Structure 1
Amino acid sequence: MALSRAPSQSLGISSYALEVNQALLKEDDDLLRQTFLSVFREHHPQLANKVDVIFALAQAWCMSESDSDFEMLEKRLEALTPDETILVSSAFSQLLNLHNVTEESITARVEKAARLGEVEQATRSTNKSLQRLVSKLQIKPEDIYAALCSQTVDLVFTAHPTQATRQSMLKKYGEIRHAMDRLHNTRLSNYERLETLDEIRSQVQGAWRTDEIRRRKPTPQDESREGLTYFHETIYSGLPVFLRRIDTALKNVGQPPLPLDAKLFSFGAWMGGDRDGNPFVTPDTTRDVVIGARLSAVTLMTEQIEKLIYELSIWRASPELKERAKQVQARHAAGAEGEFLETKKNTYDVVFMSINEPFRLVLSDIRARLQRTKDVLHHCLEHSAVNVHEALESDPEAYADEVELLATLRLCYDSLISTGDVHIANSKLLDVLRQARIFGLCLCKLDIRQESVKHTEAIDAITTYLGLGSYKEWDEGKRMEFLVNELIGKRPLLPPDLPMTPEVADVVGTFRMLAQLPNDSLGAYIISMAHTASDVLAVVLLQKECGVTPMLRVVPLFETLDDLQYAETAMRQLYSNPWYFNHIKGKQEVMIGYSDSGKDAGRLAAAWGLYEVQEALTKVADEYSVHMTLFHGRGGTVGRGGGPAHLAVLSQPPGTIRGTIRVTVQGEVMEQQFGEKESAFHTMDLYTSAVLEATLAPTQEPPELWRDTMKEMASTSCDGYRAVVREDDRFVSFFQSITPVNELGRMNIGSRPAKRRSHGSIDTLRAIPWIFAWTQVRFHLPVWLGVGDALNKMIAAGKLELLQDMYTNWMFFRVTLDMLEMVFAKADPRVVKMYERALVQPELHGLGDELLAKFQETERGLLTVMKHSRLLSSSSTAFLQQKLQLRAPYVAPLNILQVSCLKLLRSIEGGAPVEALVPADYKPSEKAVALLSRGAEKHPFVAGIEDTMIITMKGIAAGMQNTG
């Protein structure tokens, strides 16, 4: 079914296009569900009928909301045997993942149709942004060109454990998505259509027969390898295609193509560098992932060079290129008539090259040097004592960085331009030049992240050993004086015989390792839980003492609400310090944390705190003429600052984005934004257009009345949130009872522990399991708690019209409430009550009733402000509503099964004998025992319950993923 608009419709998100999308989604969902059920029936013919009935009952309950329908569904699920339970839970988890494939496929087709002009989406492409800036805002095209040429969006892939699906499963789902795209190609013959359907069935069967549970925790090296796959599959090849579209868009407004040194995007990574509370990220780990990323970069560049060798068979060349070709020839053994033989390593591919093909000679030399670079890196990987930086620098045949590579490619480019072969120069060679410029020979720069207290402990160990006193006990003034004096001085501070605890040894070892790594592989040093100016200077001093040259830029990460409020003071103190001001050379990066601020104060208070701190940080940077780049530490979920990329950028305070921005890309967001070529293209398009508009045409400053109102609401919201989370003695027990927070570690979805420290509860719990646990029970409490207090207080004070005006005309407020509405649409109080009845002690039910009442009050207040009769009632959210309705019957059985598993596991952990929990008449077959135990050295019943629990968590996570 083609995506096009009806003749009578004007260009826009027409009702016709909406109907087409909805029809396609329903059609694709039915196709994949029936394909899966067919595969399931083939392997489990007797159980297939039960799955059909359970799905039908789940549909009935989701539509009727009847207690009797729910009881029928619950009884059906309770009647399953343990081996049936694990299969049924896995079936519904698979169905949810397949449904997500249909959503991604439809989204990709809509995005492509939008670029073809068949439909128009709410978010603007870069081309549309250029047209708007020129025609509506009267900005000169040359000013737009200058802004775009200096613009950089830095996307940082992190290892935050929010991707519950195994990489092997994601690959299969990706193949299904590609097959679905082919299926919608109207040019398919009947034979091709049947072959495509067979391929879909094959991949569905492969996914079903694959163990969806990670049987061990991934290592940081595993996480890095998984992150790098997105570069191999979509980003590396997709970025030059996107830049070509930008060239065309610029041509449409009368401007030249992007210059060769433009860098619209750069990429970073935290995988293997984020040691904040992760004991598995060691100095050796960091070394491994840096080498691994460089090997990937060299491999990808080698592939591009080999393509160029075959493409550039041209004999005309500039004198400079001919001279370089002669130099290359002289370094190789000469053959008959000036030809030499080059044999590609590890292949049978033999290429004869002549001086009459100078481009091929020069490019073959690049390929040989890339191969030599790969050999050096492999040697470093095998010998952990080798200094990687020195090994690359000391080998004249290896590339230490991309500088020489870029110079040689530029020589080829300039030669083609000089001989009039402009179209050839601006074809494949231009793409490779841009890849070399953006990805270099490191692919993505590794950030290092560590908690501020670790650096304090390291400096304290030094000052205590030297008899200078305890650094930890000094006030901020004394700390700053000491740090600056040591930075100015030339004497070494770090004693070679310093006695170190394991924690201090890890900090010092990390800095010493950084000194041995290629500097172009390293990005920023992030200080999590940063509080003061001394936190920044401590890291600068440790770099100096350990020989990190040139030093990594140091980026404070302000996370809690108190830290956000102190951030301006800390940065002012740094800028006003002459040594530090000279050190940063007019550039500073500051990171703000969405996850921990939300966990600390609630989503609304955190959102406003982040808004204000961006304004304050920009103001103080302007006072000192410092160009500041804000690094947004966003998660995928709304509770951790997630949301559509375009709106997330444009809803920032006006004037805070000036051509540069850094943003984290976490967990499942990597797959959503870069798992498919169309999605990757769309992601880059959204960021480019949003940053360009935010730079050249920022939104208007909100009126003081709106600011005062928002400040009051944030305060009220924070008080309401903390009154429950921090001050209600019942809350921690209620939270641990009603959610599977204590069971999340079984999922093995990330290398780091769920808590920064082993002791403590809510304060030391990371923001991810905090959000994840509430998502599982479909309550999403961290997102809305406190918001109702704020909204309803304003409404009671007669300020409803004011709030409605803010919602209509203030992007920040509108996006905040729109994301909240989506979360409410995904929540289900009936499911929450089910968890409470089954898992929470009766004496805590009163708190549950209070929270449900707050939930309903918040929903009413939200709908009143938005002028909506019900959730997702506007035409713009009709498609989203359909997505949620299609998911609901898959999620409901998983919630019921999860509650059952939690009851059993907690009974076992409480000392109940396993035999007493196994149904008396249950006699598992040998096949059933194998299914339940999966090789685990424990009772098959227990192993099966644990696996079912994990599968339900993964399935519900897929059902609750960010559909915004």
Structure 2
Amino acid sequence: MSLLSTRRDGFATALSMSKDGPSAYALEVNQALLKEDDDLLRQTFLSVFRHHHPQLANKVDVIFALSQAWCMSESDDDFDMLVKRLETLKPDEHILVASAFSQLLNLHNLTEEIVTARVEKAARLGEVEQSTRSTNKSLERLVNELGQNPEDIFKALCRQRVDIVFTAHPTQAIRQSLLKKYQKIRSEMDALHNTRMTPYERLECLDEIKSQIQAAWRTDEIRRKKPTPQDESRQGLSYFHDTIFHGLPVFLRRIDTALKNIGQPMLPLDTKLFNFGAWMGGDRDGNPFVTAATTRDVVLGARLSATMLLQSQISRLVYELSVWRASDELTAAAARILEARKDGLYAHTTRESYETEFGSVREPFRVVLSEIRERLNSTSTTLRYLMSHPHLNVKETLDNDPGAYSDAEAIITPLMLCYDSLVATGDSTIAFSELTDVIRQAQTFGLHLCQLDIRQESTKHAEAIDAITTYLGLGSFNAWDEAQRTAFLLKELEERRPLLPADLPMSEEVADVIGTFKMLATLPSDSLGAYIISMAHTASDVLAVLLLQKECGIRETLRVVPLFETLDDLEYAETAMEQLFGNAWYHAHIAGAQECMIGYSDSGKDAGRLAAAWGLYEVQERLAAVAAKYDVHLTLFHGRGGTVGRGGGPAHLAILSQPPKTISGTLRVTVQGEVMEQQFGEKEIAFRTMDLYTSAVLEATLAPMEEPQAVWREAMREMSRTSCEAYRAVVRHDPRFIEYFQTLTPVNELGRMNIGSRPAKRKAHGSIDTLRAIPWIFAWTQIRFHLPVWLGMGQALRAMIDAGKLELLQDMYQNWMFFRVTLDMLEMVFAKADPRVVTMYQRQLVDAGLHALGDELLRTFYEAEELVLKVMKHKGLLSSSSTAFLQQKLQLRAPYVAPLNILQVYCLKTIRDIEAGKEVDESGYNPVPAAVALMSRDPEKTPFVGAVEDTL
């Protein structure tokens, strides 16, 4: 009997076959199921492909077999055979084969998500153990192992909050049309695994899987135009509709149960363990397509989504809460509503049958809830009206509409009245059910769903202030030193008279800055989150934004968050915040709370991964210390990407590896691009994501890791200096590097693709400094070299080992979470890299005069890998039992990736030859459209030009 049929009885059936117990058998079962799922979806796709392309299907079979053979043998002869087979393809066949392997890789990635979701569920059932702790396990550890008072834990959890901020750089590479089909396949596979089926039902399930695979194959996978910020926002909001909005109350119920197990009450209904934010439509740093109108559009879109989701939930409650017994307060409220309807005071009531359906004081809950429902309906009508009338003030229109809601409190108040009534009349069990869930949804998502952050680069604000001071004859703000700037800004912040002249002459850029602030003043404050200042350097950068908010009429000021990114910025961050906290006006303004953002992407691009990681570690300590000095609660906003080169990694370990006492119950973190799909695309995984964040922040707050030893710190400082020098010696100072990078990788071609709304560079021309961190990382990911992650690491380790400090490094790896996670991530990156593929790119695309640099980098790569394994005491990459499953995933994925690498090289060579004016094809076939189409494939995770994230 196959494991697929065994799974009809659920995961536990397979586990019960183990003689060594569930945990010992879990790995073997998962590996078998992953392989079986992979085979099932691959064979299903090939049957679809064979139906449409019977002649080419045999070639795809052969190519896959040859790719498998090479990935298993690692023989040069096998690789040459694979290359020769691909070279025999006709130009139009290149496109179809690339598309086929792109779909195969997407389906394989789907099998990984399916297995991951199954493991998450099995872990919650206690059938398997995981290396990361759930919140329930964390509570048990804090009480039973660490002896903490359950009441103190409860209070800490009530104060705790994690902000998850969705960003769209990059946006999800795979089109939403395809993602929806993959979600349906995932749902059918889940049913196939976990549902008792008759033979007919099983055949119907397999037919539906095949139908969705065929639909995916016949769907255009290429974005024909660049997505707008509004498109990116709509895609981000889809995760709220699919998993987050309905999944959050389910998770909070689990927390209630976990608290009950340690003798504590359920979470108060006004507790917000999570808050959700977004950058799509608000991040204008270097993105000319994010305008004031764009920001208004996405705010209205989010509010409309929130209104519709709440309206659906309230409608369910209207029919469920048929209870007649109620408190005097609720009965009186229902009577007032009925009387107002009779007098015609509620003009927003639109249903003629409304009063007869739920118009009796004998059903007071239905009367109150139906009133909320109708006002939500009126709110959605008003929001749609505002969308079609872009010149209207959103805030004023909502405030002045008697039928519409302008803030969530007006919804929460009557819901709490219903809740209190049920509790008072002895029906608390009913109150704790659906009503509790809706109240929690209203508390967390309100009428805004997710709060929009605004981001702009610091010099833009300085230019706006400079335009004002110059026009008023006060001098040039940009010419002043920091002391003059700070003094002027603080003086104007305390002034009551306006500073901004109505007739101020403005350049296009200054008009955009001023226009943005004026537009923000017209939006509901609950829809707005933080104002992020990218490339922040000084205290005046923060004060300038506060002054512009004041002058443009923003009454409820957005909290201003400096973003420190480059290594120099990280070093100056403490000084800037010391200046701010030490100022009496600013200290009073922030009311004891400050948020600072630290950037992982640009710091890594600037100094290399190791130096950036240590720089980020130290700046967190320094910022926490200066905040404590001035009695300010500091929230750190971690600007992490999906890849290791951009700070990516398992969320739980990433949080626990932060410096002690830098997470005090609050945390903000970005979830970027397709990481949204990986963390929130499926309900079990979304549940696990929220669980891990909650658990890690709670433990980091109540049981932080011990301070690293002084000798460890000194070792990290030495390695950081060495690695940074080695990294910059290549990236910044080797005159051959830029040309080598641009010819070896598809970085220039990436910038032409319709992946995201934002340009690839901050400026049209320039060096590595002007290139955004994302295409910088993606370009190296595409060719499976991951240079920004490991460059400099080998030199740092070699210097330490040559100084006789190998045992020290091994001690650091065993006993310091920060260093352990750093090396574990490096090991994974080395496992995903393939120098043989890099050699192919170099041989085909790079001028022979630059091969010496490539050969040097390859030698550096091998040395870094060897030294990392030596410190870890590992015999080979992913050789430990804990990484065996990851190793299998990479092995199964590799045969789909290798042909795409080869086809990408063909594509890049063709495009570049055409651009250089070389003769490419004498047959009359025009390779340009084919090459462009081939470049647009998006197999995700590992290479090919369309694949934009190498996530975990």
Superposition deviation, residue 79 in structure 1: 1.0
Alignment map for 1:340-351 (pairs within 5 Å)? 344=351, 351=357
Aligned pairs for 1:276-425 (under 5 A) are: 276-333=285-342, 344=351, 351-425=357-431
Correspondent of 2:264 among 229, 246, 255: 255
SS in 1 for 2:148: coil
How far the C-alpha of 1:76 sits from its partner, in A, is 1.0
What is the match of residue 685 of structure 2? 679
1:638 aligned onto 2:644: yes
Aligned to 1:460: 466
- Secondary structure, aligned partner of 1:789: helix
Equivalent in the alignment of 2:943: 956
Residue 794 of structure 1 is matched in structure 2 by 800
Q: Pick the aligned partner of 1:439 from 441, 445, 452.
A: 445
Asked if residue 69 in structure 1 is aligned to residue 55 in structure 2, the reply is no
Q: Which residue of 2 aligns with 1:911?
A: 917
Do the aligned partners of 1:615 and 1:653 also contact (CA within 8 Å) in 2?
yes
State yes or no: 1:3 paired with 2:6. no
The alpha-carbon deviation at position 745 of structure 1 amounts to 2.4
Residue segments in structure 2 that go unaligned for 5+ positions in a row: 1-6
Letter matched to residue 574 of structure 1 = L
Cα separation, 2, equivalents of 1:350 and 1:272: 44
Query: Is the CA contact 1:145–1:255 (under 8 Å) kept in the aligned structure 2?
Result: yes
Aligned AA (2:11): L
Q: How far apart are residue 944 of structure 1 and its match?
A: 1.1
Helix, strand or coil: the match of 2:225?
coil
Provide Cα deviations, 1:648-685, integer angstroms capped at 9, x if missing partner: 11110011001000000000100000000001000000
Alpha-carbon displacement from aligned partner over 1:569-627 (angstroms, at most 9, x marks no partner): 00000000111011000000000000000000000000000000000000000000000
CA gap of 1:118–1:822, structure 2 versus 1, over 3 A, is same
Residue 935 of structure 1 is matched in structure 2 by none
- Is residue 946 from structure 1 mapped to residue 918 from structure 2 by the alignment? no
Structure 1 residue 191: Cα displacement: 1.7
Partner of 2:525: 519
CA deviation string 1:112-155 (max 9, x = no partner): 00000000100000000000100000001001000001100000
Q: Using a 3 Å threshold, how does the CA distance of structure 1 residues 342 and 573 change in structure 2: closer, same or farther?
A: closer
Alpha carbons 2:358, 2:370 under 8 Å: kept: no
Most deviating of 600-609 and 172-181: 172-181
Task: Output aligned runs, 1:610-621, within 5 Å.
Answer: 610-621=616-627
Q: Judging changes above 3 Å, is the alpha-carbon distance between structure 1 residues 7 and 20 closer, same or farther for their aligned structure 2 residues?
A: closer
Instruction: Give the structure-1-normalised TM-score.
Output: 0.96
| CA-CA distance at 1:956 after TM superposition | 2.3
Displacement of 1:353 after TM fit? Answer: 3.4
Q: Which residue of 2 aligns with 1:666?
A: 672
TM-superposed CA distance for 1:352, in Å, is: 4.5
The SS at the match of 1:550 is coil
Residues 174-216 of structure 1: CA distance to partner in whole angstroms, max 9, x if unpaired?
1111111111015122222111111110110011001111000
2:174 is equivalent to residue 165 of structure 1: yes
- Are the equivalent residues in 2 in contact too, given 1:898–1:953 (CA < 8 A)? no
User: Aligned AA for 1:373?
Assistant: T
Aligned residue for 2:655?
649
Structure 2 counterpart of 1:194, from 200, 203, 207: 203
Instruction: Give the counterpart of 1:78 among 77, 80, 87.
Output: 87
More displaced stretch, 71-80 vs 522-531: 71-80
Q: Which residue of 2 aligns with 1:780?
A: 786
Checking the alignment, whether the CA contact within 8 Å between 2:106 and 2:939 is kept in structure 1 is no
Q: Distance in 1 between matches of 2:922 and 2:833?
A: 33
Whether the aligned pair in 2 keeps the contact of 1:402 and 1:440 (CA below 8 Å) is yes
Q: After the TM superposition, which of the residue ranges 399-408 and 2-11 deviates more from structure 2?
A: 2-11
Cα RMSD, aligned residues only: 1.7
CA shift, 1:163, in A, is: 2.3
Alignment partners' CA distance in 1, 2:16 and 2:93: 49
Matching residue of 2:735: 729
**Are 1:855 and 2:858 an aligned pair?**
no
Between the aligned partners of 2:269 and 2:16, the Cα distance in structure 1 is: 42
1:933 counterpart residue number: none
Measure, in 2, the Cα distance between the counterparts of 1:188 and 1:236. Answer: 31
Contact 2:168/2:756 (8 A) holds in 1: yes
1:887-926 matched pairs, under 5 angstroms: 887-912=893-918, 916-918=919-921, 920=923
Partner of 2:215: 206
Q: Report how many residues are paired.
A: 938
Q: Which residue identity is paired with 1:783?
A: V
Tell me what 1:53 maps to.
Answer: 62
> Could you list the per-position Cα deviations for residues 466-496 of structure 1 after superposition, in whole angstroms to 9, with x for gaps in the alignment?
1111111110000000000100111211111
Give the aligned residue type for 1:611.
Answer: Y
CA contact 1:593–1:634 (8 Å) conserved in 2: yes
Correspondence for 1:531: 537
CA distance in 2, matches of 1:363, 1:188: 40
How many Å separate the matches in 1 of 2:547 and 2:882?
Answer: 53
Give the SS at the match of 1:917.
coil
State the partner residue of 1:931.
Answer: none
SS class of match (1:106): helix
Structure 2 CA distance for partners of 1:334 and 1:588, relative to 1, 3 Å: closer
Q: 1:433 to 1:953 in 2, by over 3 A?
A: closer
Counterparts in 2 of 1:271 and 1:11: CA distance versus 1, 3 Å: farther
Query: TM-score, length-normalised on structure 2?
Result: 0.97
* Contact 1:62–1:888 under 8 Å retained in 2: yes
- CA deviation vs aligned residue, 1:344-381 (integer Å, no higher than 9, x gap): 59x99993532211111111110111111112111111
Deviation at 1:752, TM superposition (A): 0.6
Partner of 2:4: none
1:12: Cα distance to partner? 7.4
> How far is the alpha carbon of 1:917 from its aligned partner?
1.9
Give the 3 Å change call, closer, same or farther, for CA 356–555 of structure 1 in structure 2. Answer: same
- For 2:231, the equivalent position in structure 1 comes to 222
Report the alpha carbon displacement of residue 331 of structure 1 after superposing the two structures with TM. 2.0
8 Å CA contact retained: 2:166, 2:236: yes
Q: Which residue is equivalent to 2:753?
A: 747
Does the CA-based 8 Å contact 1:413-1:429 persist in structure 2?
Answer: yes
CA deviation profile, 1:708-743 (whole Å, cap 9, x unmatched): 001110111100100000000000000000000000
- What is the aligned counterpart of 1:108 among 96, 117, 136? 117
Give, in whole Å, the separation in 2 of the partners of 1:660 and 1:497: 43
Work out whether 1:492 is the aligned partner of 2:498.
yes
> Which position in structure 2 is the counterpart of 1:145?
154
Q: What CA distance in whole angstroms lies between the structure 2 residues aligned with 1:6 and 1:331?
A: 63
Structure 1: how far apart are the matches of 2:753 and 2:765? 21
* 1:182 pairs with 2:191: yes
Specify the code of the residue in structure 1 equivalent to 2:931.
I
Q: Deviations over 1:438-463 (max 9, x none)?
A: 00000000000000010011011111
- CA distance, structure 2, for counterparts of residue 58 and residue 469 of structure 1: 68
Is the 1:343–1:349 Cα contact (8 Å) retained in structure 2? no
C-alpha distance in 2, partners of 1:8/1:700? 39
Residue pair 2:173, 2:938 contacting (<8 A) in 1 also: no
1:754 aligns to what SS in structure 2?
coil
AA at the equivalent of 2:126: G
* Structure-1 separation of matches of 2:486 and 2:41: 62
Picking from 867, 876, 880, the partner of 2:873 is 867
Distance 1:397 1:163 in 2: 38
- Retained in 1: the 8 A contact 2:303–2:448? yes
The aligned amino acid for 1:740 is P
Distance 1:899 1:271 in 2: 33
Give me the identity figure in percent: 71
- Quote the Cα distance in structure 2 between the aligned partners of 1:59 and 1:293: 46
C-alpha distance in structure 2 between counterparts of 1:591 and 1:511, whole Å: 21
Question: Which SS does the other structure have where 1:52 is aligned?
Answer: helix
SS in 2 for 1:316: coil
Deviations 1:78-103 (A, max 9, x none): 11111111000000011111000000
Whole-Å Cα distance in 1 between the matches of residues 728 and 269 of structure 2? 52
